[in-house]
Structure 1
């Protein structure tokens, strides 16, 4: 009975809407070229006095609109790029089928999308779709994306209002980190890419694969209930009616990396395509546990491991290269195919300053350092991506579509760390540490969907999809060496027992598979558009990790110890020394877990539009269950957590004039813990010198959203919007530091509550005949209330943190601009883009480990494209022209206001990237 009042209110409102409904008439509008008599596909047909609601014509140049029966005269405006706009009056005596002839203005218009579907690639199509939907949303179209300097979905989305990037790959929407922002690919969830977070690595998707990106700022009943900052939907390219072929070859120079010295570790022939896992993995038949074997048996298996402890100094790092090919063709009159792929090799060399401080005085630049390191890091990236889109239309009322992609992503990273660990040895004892990591990920997705128009008012839509994520981290090697006073060499530090950082080898594998299905029925009843449906998803994950260290037994002679510790690491772990060294396993019961997540939902949504007022009501019931099985030192661990929730949705719009509209929305949602976040597995992060652990007691966060937005549309391709929003978050999930002397442990936990208040401004304007501009800005205030008890040592409650602080990952302000110029003959395209974020809380600290903020960093990019002929083009792109440093500072005085004089935790410069691309299009 708990939610009876919600059902009553919802059904009552639906009844009121139905009772007040107006009669409607359906009009069909055919748009065609007056000179050639050809149908114009993708023309915009907009009802001016109904809030700018409109549709686009299909392949036959026909659009359908439902307009209210009224004594007033309504006006339709028909527009198509390169043609003069046409206004058509609609009265009660107008015929239901209208023909509109359009006259060309002499502008050459490229052919647009075809099929019996709406055009999606143009800016006009995007804005029309955003204005039609009841949700508050924004986005970018392929027409705009292809003119930007962006080459990945991550960079594209950073141009959207209220959106920024974390670590250059993960989305922060309205100040809320990636865990609050699910990513959809063509209406279905994207495959997981990260083991430790809910984020989707948007660097995977090439920008050229995108038709549209949409960021929904308010949820709806027919979308996932797991919503915080926004839902990101990426619509990928679709097949076309005519054969197409597009080939690109790109080369890039990265300042500070290309043609400069670099590092590498052990290499294998299969690394060029990302297939080096087998050569680095544990041998077939390797025992499940070494602790029960004899010394001779352990030695035998130690000798079976390849010696990959090698650091190579490269005299020069080559430029990055990328190739991409896309091919589309009709396979008949009712079947179309689009397929393609890309391959890239790139490199990044960084010099990173890393510090940690002992807090004695609450003041900047007044505390001694615990360590001071300088990392020399080179990462080799290999990415292979393939996709296919298949569309079958057996009739005008039925359409089936297949979307699939396969991606292989490899990062081969070598870190040479030099500096001082002052709390371990002192300022006169230098360290030289090594981290050699190979990480391979395979992502696969397949989606099948159908749309069936059963009658004039009834449409059935369904989608079924499967995803797979394979993540392998074979042979992550870590070695520490130290040069003691009076010694002439760096000596390998040998632990008394197995550790994850001294003479260590770490292996892990993750397998995650998911199945998603949803079906929705769209109908109209007394002028109300109804959507009802079901949604289901099942995820399963298996993870294991094993780690070992080489130790020197007490029986070894002092001469051997003296000789061996002074050896270079590539020789120290060769087979000639394994007769004395012992490989010891330190794997814990928590290093293995299995997890499952089951989700089921039912939803109902209704939309109704009057002359000026539109109203959308929705209700969604979603039940999710997470099941985790693992173990601790004391025995097996089983966690079962159900998350049932009823969620109401309300969206209202009011038309102030033919070009002005006001929107209001309220909704409720949740944010579930990720599977990794509830697993007790402990992971050592070499780069950050911390331990990372899950928390089986995590609770889901519950959110309330309130939005208000004003929109002005000077024309079909222009928009000015101002919006305000408020969010209340109960039990927000964040990371906390559990105090530790040398290596703090970062653990997931729930804060009691948080509040978020923001203001957004967006403008898409035609500044001149050939110049367009996109400008957006956001100001966001957030506050987390930790209550009277906060996390302290080992997770116990103690007054070790400030009660109030910003939300983790939130920036107080964000500014974006994008200027686009196209010459009159369309042979030149020039674009420039910039972005600036405010200081972002990156790491939640305590009184002994202050919080760390990512400092503001301006970004400026340029793009220039020149057509060299009918089929060939050349483009030059410059990314990050200003090359400002990445700086992370700690809040040394614990006042929550980060300043430039605060202590630096780490700092590095990534370098500007200059690239040249040659393309052929047929």
Structure 2
């Protein structure tokens, strides 16, 4: 822009580029059509060269609309010592309206060819694609600056995703080698995500009634263009050698390997729209981009306002941020061996181990700030390189024919995702949380111990009791720093965490209550979990500077203290099926705050769904469903001194559906 003041050619180029963007900044309300979906599946078996060839084809299409109003979006922090501070300070309190329109379609073709009784190969091709249009309108108070202003921000987003997969597989049994079995699989998938025009428009309504764009604290209008491509190349080879152990019982030795490559390219372009005059007439973003409000240029350069002598009008600026562009690769090489071995007529053991080597590399396009802080983000050095041995032991003991005991120990791991390690900054609401990855993340190791008692009164019934323990090394958490200049959410490891708990599960038909209930069955399970994470010494010192009585541990990130599920089912010989399901998960941490500010929790959401279907002898079937019958709300909150503060809240709403299907084979 500065060059355009002295160079008419550049001035005309800026004016032309500004006008090249569509003025699609409108938001409006309308009643959508009903949610709807269609699906078709076909299958058959034919002979090819005298051998059986099985084919399955399926395709589906769905379109779903959703909206809510009166949602809440807030940020609160503790600004003083706990002893003398009675309330959290509001940084942001907004009311949200949101609408979404999502289309999903997919197709799948699967084939299986039986070369002989011992040799079979298969090929599966699949493509899924979705497009989601979303608009958001939020208004309220941004109390960290000018709390008397009405803060208004709008979002327009369209996101298209696709996943294409091809999988080739085979299974071969060598009868001459004691039925030695070889299974192999190779798959390639390409996933793409395109956000062609993500738009944000933020402004303030002053007490005078005027609408302005406030440069000192808010962003000017933004348009983002993002594209992500990732391919996965997944290969595995498994061998199984059956044998008889010392007492003649069937056993098996299994071993194999795998090699997985994931590669991602992420690109983002950002354009900002500046102005010398930041008034927004009537608070209308669409009118703000009228042609008369855009910067003007002629052969003589920028056109000036004759009254003020200043260059005025909206003009575009390329705000490309190299830190928001990256390439990433992950390589996983694995090998395993295990043996399934009966130790007696009642005791069976499965013992094995898996070796996994993980290499992660990431290249950022920011050659200044990012590489100064993270010099290993050059695409050549290993951001993460680990070789892990993951043992496992399973013991199954038959107390009786209908009663079993199971004891298991396993070690597993969880790797950080590309998004979690990439130094890429994004936000969902202008003025809200800013999400940034952490290249210093390490993988998580988990040691699991499970003990389970099972009783089967009938083949369709079960009663089980289980106890479990998990120990985590370097678990990953989503953390938040309210004192940061921007409200930054990132990811970090904690050194250690653990949990233990118990679960009870029951599946029972209700015929014992009377013949009239013989078609009913009941299923339920309940888990109770106690989890604990040590707070890092530096963080604990910061917390205790404001809250000297603070404990040195807290619950694990994302771990609920209890989970309850229930299912009441009905099925008769006339083709009628129905079920009523219930699910509820206890409060769990969604964001770990820094300092003494309370952590954010997702509160329990009771979900009750009902489904009923009826089949008819002519091949037709009718199905009806009702979801979220209790009309529960999604809620994230922070609690301080007995008072609850709303972070995120919105209604999910009830949904009702009616479907018709026809089976051609009937």
Secondary structure at the counterpart of residue 714 of structure 1: coil
Note if contact 2:426-2:436 (Cα within 8 Å) is conserved in structure 1. yes
Correspondences of 1:633-652 after superposition (within 5 Å): 633-634=368-369, 636=371, 637-638=377-378, 639-640=381-382, 641-652=384-395
Note if contact 1:357-1:369 (Cα within 8 Å) is conserved in structure 2. yes
The equivalent residue for 2:62 is 344
Note if contact 2:558-2:589 (Cα within 8 Å) is conserved in structure 1. yes
Note if contact 1:801-1:847 (Cα within 8 Å) is conserved in structure 2. no
Match of 1:327 among 42, 47, 66: 42
Q: 1:492/1:919 Cα in 2 relative to 1: closer, same or farther (>3 Å)? A: farther
Matched, 1:626 2:366: no
- 1:229-255 deviation digits (Å, cap 9, x = unpaired): xxxxxxxxxxxxxxxxxxxxxxxxxxx
Note if contact 2:180-2:242 (Cα within 8 Å) is conserved in structure 1. yes
- 1:895-917 deviation digits (Å, cap 9, x = unpaired): xxxx7x42222222111111111
Match of 2:16 among 292, 300, 307: 300
Note if contact 2:561-2:588 (Cα within 8 Å) is conserved in structure 1. yes
Note if contact 2:149-2:207 (Cα within 8 Å) is conserved in structure 1. yes
Matched, 1:905 2:654: no
Match of 2:190 among 456, 468, 477: 468
- 1:710-751 deviation digits (Å, cap 9, x = unpaired): 111223322222111111111111121134456311111110
The equivalent residue for 1:544 is 267
Secondary structure at the counterpart of residue 891 of structure 1: strand
1:848, distance to aligned residue in structure 2 (A)? 5.6
For 1:880 and 1:902, the matched residues in 2 are separated by 24
The ranges of structure 1 where at least 4 consecutive aligned residues each deviate by more than 4 angstroms after the TM superposition are: 360-365, 564-567, 798-802
Secondary structure at the counterpart of residue 570 of structure 1: helix
- Which structure has the highest strand share of the two? 2
Matched, 1:568 2:256: no
Of the structure 1 ranges 615-624 and 711-720, higher mean CA displacement relative to structure 2 is found in 711-720
- How many residue pairs get matched? 606
Structure 1: runs of 5+ lacking an equivalent:
1-292, 554-559, 894-898
Q: 1:365/1:507 Cα in 2 relative to 1: closer, same or farther (>3 Å)? A: farther
The equivalent residue for 2:347 is 613
For 2:201 and 2:214, the matched residues in 1 are separated by 9
Matched, 1:806 2:555: yes
For 2:492 and 2:540, the matched residues in 1 are separated by 9
Matched, 1:772 2:521: yes
Q: 1:536/1:688 Cα in 2 relative to 1: closer, same or farther (>3 Å)? A: farther
Note if contact 1:384-1:408 (Cα within 8 Å) is conserved in structure 2. yes
For 1:799 and 1:703, the matched residues in 2 are separated by 32
Secondary structure at the counterpart of residue 334 of structure 1: strand
The equivalent residue for 2:326 is 593
For 1:687 and 1:304, the matched residues in 2 are separated by 24
1:298, distance to aligned residue in structure 2 (A)? 3.1
- 1:214-242 deviation digits (Å, cap 9, x = unpaired): xxxxxxxxxxxxxxxxxxxxxxxxxxxxx
The equivalent residue for 1:187 is none
For 1:787 and 1:423, the matched residues in 2 are separated by 29
Note if contact 2:482-2:593 (Cα within 8 Å) is conserved in structure 1. no
Matched, 1:852 2:620: no
Correspondences of 1:84-95 after superposition (within 5 Å): none
The equivalent residue for 1:505 is 223
Note if contact 1:617-1:651 (Cα within 8 Å) is conserved in structure 2. yes
The equivalent residue for 1:375 is 96
Structure showing greater relative contact order (alpha-carbon pairs closer than 8 Å, 6 or more residues apart): 1
The equivalent residue for 1:914 is 656
Secondary structure at the counterpart of residue 590 of structure 1: helix
The equivalent residue for 1:886 is 634
The equivalent residue for 1:830 is 578
Q: What's the TM-score once normalised by structure 2's chain length? A: 0.86
For 1:422 and 1:848, the matched residues in 2 are separated by 20
- 1:532-563 deviation digits (Å, cap 9, x = unpaired): 1111100100111122211114xxxxxx655x
For 1:465 and 1:778, the matched residues in 2 are separated by 37
The equivalent residue for 1:736 is 479
Of the structure 1 ranges 735-744 and 620-629, higher mean CA displacement relative to structure 2 is found in 735-744
For 1:507 and 1:533, the matched residues in 2 are separated by 43
Match of 2:169 among 444, 449, 473: 449
- 1:85-124 deviation digits (Å, cap 9, x = unpaired): xxxxxxxxxxxxxxxxxxxxxxxxxxxxxxxxxxxxxxxx
Of the structure 1 ranges 520-529 and 385-394, higher mean CA displacement relative to structure 2 is found in 520-529
Q: 1:779/1:465 Cα in 2 relative to 1: closer, same or farther (>3 Å)? A: same
Q: What's the TM-score once normalised by structure 1's chain length? A: 0.63
Structure 2: runs of 5+ lacking an equivalent:
1-8, 246-250, 296-312, 372-376, 512-517
Of the structure 1 ranges 539-548 and 509-518, higher mean CA displacement relative to structure 2 is found in 539-548
1:529, distance to aligned residue in structure 2 (A)? 0.6
1:876, distance to aligned residue in structure 2 (A)? 1.3
The equivalent residue for 1:221 is none
Secondary structure at the counterpart of residue 874 of structure 1: strand
